[in-house]
Structures are given as C-alpha cells and as structure tokens.
Structure 1
Amino acid sequence: MADAPSSAGDSVAPFVARPNLVLAMLLLVYIFNFVDRQILAILAAPIQADLGLSDAQMGLLGGVAFAVLYSTLGVPLAWLADRTSRSWVITISLGIWSGFTALCGSVQSFTGIFLCRLGVGVGEAGGVAPSYAVIGDYFPPKRRAFALSVYSLGIPLGSTIGVLAGGYIASQIDWRTAFFTVGLAGLLIAIPFKLIVRDRPRPTRSDQNDSPQFLEIARLLSRKPSFWLLAFGAASSSMLGYGLAFWLPSLLQRSFGLDLMQTSHFIGAIMLLGGVAGMLAGGWVADRLGSRDKAFYAWVPASAFFIGVPLFSGGIYSSNVWVAFALFLIPQAMAYVWLGPVLTAVQHLVPPPARSIASAMFLLINNLIGIGGGIYALGALSTALTPIYGTEALRYSMLYSLILYAFAAMLTGLAGPFLRRDWVEEIRTDG
C-alpha cells in the first residue's frame, strides 16, 4: 500500500469527478460495508445448523472481537491514508473486506469463519475514516454536514439490503451463495471506484514532513473538551443504537408475536423511512443553523436524543404492533440525526491534513463502546431482569437502557459552547 500513487499524482489526472459523483461512489462503498457487516445476522440460523455452532460462538463472530480489530486498526490505516492516498486506502480496503466476505462462503469450521470475519473487520477498518476525509476535501464547510449525512445513508440502506438480500438468497439457494454473491459484488466495484474517486490536491511527499504527526494530532484533540464530549456522547447513543438494532427482532417476536418475515418487514420499513429521513434532516438542519453558531453542530444531535427517549419508551412499552410502528418511526429518525453534525464537527477540530486520523480516533471510541458494549449490555440486563419480569425481561431491559440516550443528550449538549472555541476554520479557494 505504501507504493500506491500519491494524492498529488491523482490531482493531475485528466479526469476529475464532480463532488456529487464522488459522494455517490463513497455511498455505494459504504452500503457494501454494512451489507457485508450485517449479513451475518440474517444467516446465523443456517450457519449454526450447517457448522454446528453455538450461540456463544456466533456472538464471538459479530461482537467484541470484530469491534476491537475494526476500531483499533482504523487509526493506523487512517494515518496511512493521510500520508499517502485516501482513495487508494479505501479501494484496497474494499477489496480486502469483500474478498473475505466471499471466503466466508467456503469455510467448513468455526475457526475458518472466525478468521474470515476478522478479515472483514480488518478491511472495513480502512474504509470509513478516509471516506469522511475525502468528503471534507470535496465539499465546502457550508455543505459538509449534509454530504456526510448522505454518505451515512449507507448504514440503513446497507443494513436493510444485507438482511433482505442475504435472507432471500439463503432461502432460495443456501447461505454460502449469499456470502459469495455480496463479496464478489463488492470486488466488482473496486476498479470503477478508484477510476472515479481521486484525491484532491494536497501537499506533495516532499512537503508532508510538515503535516501534523499522529502524536501531535492526538495531543491536539486531547486538549479539546468538545472532542471528548462528542465522542462519548456518540458512543453512549451507539450503545443503545446497536443494542436496539440487535435485540428489536427478538422483542417483536417475543412480545408482539410477529414471525420472521413480519419482523424483517417491520424493521426494514422503520430503518428505511426513519433512517433516511433522520440522516438527511440532521445534516440539512445542522448546516443551516451551524453557519450562524457552531454550537448547533452539537445541539441538533442533543435535541434529537432528547426527543427520542419518550417516543422509544412508548413504542417499547406498547402492546399494539401498529402503535409501536408509529412510535418507533420518529425516534428511529432521531437516532440517525447525530451522524452528519457530529462527524462534521470532528473534522473541524483539526487541520484538513489530519481529518482521517481525527475521524479514526473518534470512531475508535464510538465503535469500541457502541459495538463492543451495547449488544452485550442489553442482553445481560435482560438476563438479570428475567427473575422479575419473566418473558418480558427484554422489554424492560430496553426501557431501562434508554438512560443512555439521556446521557448522550447531556454530553453532546455540553459540547456546544466548547465547539465555538475549538473549531478550526479553513481557507478554501473552490467555494
């Protein structure tokens, strides 16, 4: 990867894509990121039946081990992207995680699929933070939060496609073909992605010794209260978000009596309708309010978390599935509002050459706590509450866990005034 063409080399290429086309390609790659990440959940039952795996083994495949590698490797890969070529790091990462996803279809044991899923995590570690930085390079500050929100649509779109496509292919053929199909599809888009997405002009290699070093960036961020408040506020919300996403299917089947197909339709609908609306609204509102006061990049997410708590409570506690759907729809949108504003704010806590590293450090905190802790925490609480609530323990585990959103609202709200001081302005010549 060290021999990949530099960004300076890309900048003189005869073809320079429009920002919206670049954003579309980044979104497509992010969709595959979440398809490959989430497909394991819908294929769990046939995989367990075929390979004889336990629930504990399935938990290892998608839980803490994935979060640790995915999060920690993101930092050095982001450093490499800032020092060489962001588009090349994304392209190679796409090839790695897609290749390992395809290999999952050929495994014959727990060890084999465990190693392949580690490979998926390693590959995905190099995709997100450099993509944030590319968006920062292509879009001016007044459009950046909305652009990042469009990019983040890959989360609900990829999750939904992964569940629906994986389930359909597995039911019509088998689970191995599902892995082969989505993995090979990701490999096919790697070449057109690199041809279209080029790095914007940055310092040449001879000038990069003047670029911020990793420890310098870490020290810079450590001195900014806004970074810690936004990072731990987002991590708190992600604990609940990942936990609800994992356990909501079980709640719908245990407490609302839905079957598997009804559950997938319920979740798919709220993710697409609520998720897309929340993503776009968060970026659009933050760009407009943030142009007047940088604090709104934190206050918009804080308001969304605050609004989401009572509505999620009503949906979880409801006994009618249609009432629950209506109540879940709005807070599902609120759950995604934070991405565009917070990611934009993190990009502006450091100089432009350090954006990938800053994003990776933010993701390290968010993903380790969110992915690594959220699913386990809700499940453990449900187990602890079973002697009291019986079969309704999961419902009350979710209700009690909503305190995480209240905590997220408090932390992100407190970050607002600090953002005014910590914000790093930039000079752009392209508007």
Structure 2
Amino acid sequence: MAGDANTVLPEVSSSARKVTLFLLTATYFFSYMDRQILSILLEDIKADLLLNDAQLGYLSGIAFALFYATLGIPIASLADRKNRRNIIAVALTVWSGMTALCGLAQNFVQLLLARIGVGVGEAGSSPPSHSMIADLYPAEKRASALAIYSLGVTLGAFMGTFLGGNVTHFFDWRTAFLVVGIPGVILAILVRLFAVEPPRGMSDLQKAVADDAPSISASFKAMWKNPAAVHLVMGVTITSLIGYGLSLWSPAYLIRNFQMTEFQIANYYAPVLALAGVAGTIGGGKLADRLAARFGLHTQSWMIFALKTCAFPFLLIFYLVDDIYLAAGAYAVALLLQSCYLGPTFALIQGLAPLRMRAVWAAITLFIINLIGLGIGPTAVGVISLQYQGWFGLNDAESLRWSLFTIAMMTPWAIWHYWRGGVFLKRIEAERAEAKMQPA
C-alpha cells in the first residue's frame, strides 16, 4: 500500500502532477459538457424533430451508454499496457467531433448515430484517467485528487446547460452542439503535449511489471470476490442511475412544470446548482481524506451513507412542491449533500484494485455505472413518463413529475450499499493491520 503523507514521488514533479490533473479534469469537463448539453436542448429537439419522451430517453440514455460502457473495458485493458495519455487524447478528438456532428442531424436516426459516436469516443477517457491519477497520488491524497477530477461532472454539466441554453436562445440547438464540440479538439492537442504518463505504481512505492497485466476476466473475478468493491460499485451505480435520470430531465421538468425558459435555466438555475455541486464535491473529498486519516478508509463509505441520507428528503421536496424558489432551494441542498460520493468512491475502488488492474477495475465500475446508470436512468424516466400518460391520463408536465419522483425513490437502496461497503472495508483494514503485526 501507499506510504505515509510525507512520501516523496521523485519520478514526476509536483508541478507536472498538477498540470496533468488539471488537463485530465478539463477532459472530464468536456466529456460531461458534451453529454449534458442534450438535457437543455430536449424540448427544442422534440419540437423540431417531432419526437416523444421515450425517443428522447433513448437519445439521453441507452444510445450513448451502450457503446460508452461496453467499449470502456477493452480500451481500459489496452490502457493497462499502453500509453494512457495518448489514448485519452485520441478519445477526446473522436467524441468532440461527433458532438459537433449532432448539430447536423436532420432526423431521429441521424441524431441517434451521432450520439452513439459520442459514446464510442468517451469510452477512452475515464478509465485511463483514473489509473493515471491513482499513480500520481498516494492513497492518503487520492480521494481529494479524484474529487478535483470529479469536478468535471458538476462544472461540465453546468457549462453544457449554460452554453446550451444561451446559444439556443440566441441561435438554435444545432449551433449549440457545434459550439461545445469543436474546442475539444484543441484540448486534445494540449493533453498530448503537456500531460505526463506516470510510472505505474509510482505512488504505491512498488512497480508493476510491464508484461504482468492480467486478463479482463481475471480482473472481473478479482473484483467480484471483493465484497467491499461490489457494494461500492452497486452504491455508485444506483446513485448514478438516479442522478443521470434526474439531471438529464431536470430542464424539461422546469420548462413543463414551472414555465421556465431555457435562458432562465441556463443563467439563474444552473449556476446555483453548479456552486452547490462544486462545494459538495470538493468538501466531500477533503472530508473523506480527513476521516480516513483519523478513523480509517471505511469511514469514507459511511460518510457518503450519512450525507446521502440527509439529502434524500430535500430531493423529494423538489418534485412535490409547486413553488419554484422552494423547489430549486431544496434541490440545491440535496445536491450539496449528495455530491460527495464520486471522489471517495473511485478512490476506494482504486485503493482496493491490484496495480495492474487499476484501469480495468475503473472500466468495470464505469461499465456498470454507465450501462445501468446512464443507460437505464434517462431512458427509464422517458419510458415511465410516456406510460404514466397512458395509464393515468396525465399531461406531459405531470407524467414527467411523477416519473422523476419514482426514480428518486430508489435512493435508500444506494444508501444501504454504502453502509455495507463501509462494513467490509473496516474488516479489510483490520485484516491488513493484523497481517502487518505478524512476524516476517
């Protein structure tokens, strides 16, 4: 395992680590901006291409997630053997170009194919990034580093909403896709030129042998046999299913139920949520590192359990009240409390993973998260909304409200997995402590 907090990492300078973390975070930012922009454009796309809620759900969820998730694992296996930085740069170029092509789509099939292309490109980003960050930062600093990286989620989602709403207001939804897609190619060049590829195992004071990377099936089996990892993956997957479903449909919910415009959502609603998300993400990462240093790594999982429990009532309020200020305030509080989970969860999983399985363990996690969370979450919201219209005769606004409420009610399931994950992590820590006390 990692050394103490004063460990010197001579292979990569402090400034190089910071630059690399910044570029990886910027890449993750572009990833989320390019996928999240669709949410603010759904109503315009629906009207222009004459789509229903189920079709919008497919575009938001399974069309992207199926390819994003399945390709992530073989690319991660490649990343455990080849240069991770170069893989990320190529992937960024691909998905940025496909995002721009979304703006040229003339019908549902063309837009579907372009979204699939975005998913194919983004498959090569996160697993290699997780592996690089785990090598750049020791275990006692990893949650904070991955929390910074996870800012790409909140800031990317905000910028996708902000740019999408404003560009659509002044131009149209097609121009919005072009505006967010093209700059990614420039970032890809910066990643290739200035990000560093760290030695594998650098931050763990041990080195992985170049030809000892296990197979994908061996990585699956190793992860499945680790109950702490299984519960963490389940917790983050259910959380992501809820989060993707709610966030991707929130602009449509606000437009239909509160008569907000895309411009208002982009300039007044989104910035508040961005601030809450950034505070929750950074604060959660720092709190997780402090708890781990004082009480053990298992407390990071229990921290998520506690904060998500506190957030749950505020999340439900968002869908039960008709006052926009009360609804938005409750959602901001919920986001502040529940945004703590990404950095600590990924840090714990990387800490549990063997050195030569890190990228693949990250890819397995992201495969499950994205196939189930991103694939099913937004799709389920759209399908359930359409079903509620048929079953109960609800209009577009009310069917979407109760569809989102239905998905939000899954939160206690995720909370339970984080509690159980902490239980098993505590056992692992006790076993490792006992092993260290045994004579050589």
TM-score over 0.5 (shorter chain): yes
**Offset at residue 165 of structure 1 (A):** 1.4
Say if 2:63 and 2:112, in contact at 8 Å, map to a contact too.
no
Whole-Å Cα distance in 2 between the matches of residues 49 and 259 of structure 1?
15
The answer on 1:326 being equivalent to 2:329 is yes
Say if 2:16 and 2:195, in contact at 8 Å, map to a contact too.
no
**Offset at residue 48 of structure 1 (A):** 5.1
Change (3 A) 1:381 1:181: closer
Whole-Å Cα distance in 2 between the matches of residues 215 and 329 of structure 1?
41
Say if 1:270 and 1:332, in contact at 8 Å, map to a contact too.
no
**1:329-367 deviation line (CA, Å, top 9, x unaligned):** 111122311101110011011122321100110111111
Say if 2:58 and 2:379, in contact at 8 Å, map to a contact too.
no
Alignment of structure 1 residues 76-87 onto 2, 5 Å: 76-87=74-85
Whole-Å Cα distance in 2 between the matches of residues 150 and 252 of structure 1?
29
What's the C-alpha RMSD, in Å, of the aligned pairs? 2.8
Letter aligned with residue 235 of structure 1: T
Change (3 A) 1:109 1:246: closer
Say if 1:17 and 1:198, in contact at 8 Å, map to a contact too.
no
Alignment of structure 1 residues 387-406 onto 2, 5 Å: 390-391=394-395, 392-406=398-412
Match of 2:282 among 276, 280, 283: 280
TM-score when normalising by structure 2: 0.85
Whole-Å Cα distance in 2 between the matches of residues 152 and 395 of structure 1?
28
**Offset at residue 55 of structure 1 (A):** 5.0
In structure 1, the residue matched to 2:436 is none
Say if 2:208 and 2:355, in contact at 8 Å, map to a contact too.
no
Letter aligned with residue 275 of structure 1: G
The answer on 1:420 being equivalent to 2:421 is no
The answer on 1:27 being equivalent to 2:25 is yes
**Bigger shift: residues 261-270 or 152-161:** 261-270
Letter aligned with residue 99 of structure 2: T
In structure 2, the residue matched to 1:338 is 341
Match of 2:292 among 265, 290, 293: 290
Letter aligned with residue 132 of structure 1: H
**Offset at residue 385 of structure 1 (A):** 4.8
Change (3 A) 1:345 1:21: same
Change (3 A) 1:313 1:178: closer
**1:227-264 deviation line (CA, Å, top 9, x unaligned):** 21111111111121112113323333343343433333
In structure 2, the residue matched to 1:4 is none
**1:101-125 deviation line (CA, Å, top 9, x unaligned):** 2233344444433322211100101
Change (3 A) 1:56 1:330: closer
Whole-Å Cα distance in 1 between the matches of residues 234 and 80 of structure 2?
24
TM-score when normalising by structure 1: 0.87
Alignment of structure 1 residues 217-296 onto 2, 5 Å: 217-291=219-293, 292-296=295-299
In structure 1, the residue matched to 2:170 is 172
Q: Which runs of no fewer than 5 residues in structure 1 stay unpaired?
A: 1-10, 426-431
SS in 2 for 1:395: helix
In structure 2, the residue matched to 1:308 is 311
**Bigger shift: residues 336-345 or 60-69:** 60-69
**Bigger shift: residues 396-405 or 228-237:** 396-405
Alignment of structure 1 residues 57-136 onto 2, 5 Å: 57-136=55-134
- Percent identity over the alignment is 36
Whole-Å Cα distance in 1 between the matches of residues 384 and 106 of structure 2?
34
Change (3 A) 1:393 1:211: closer
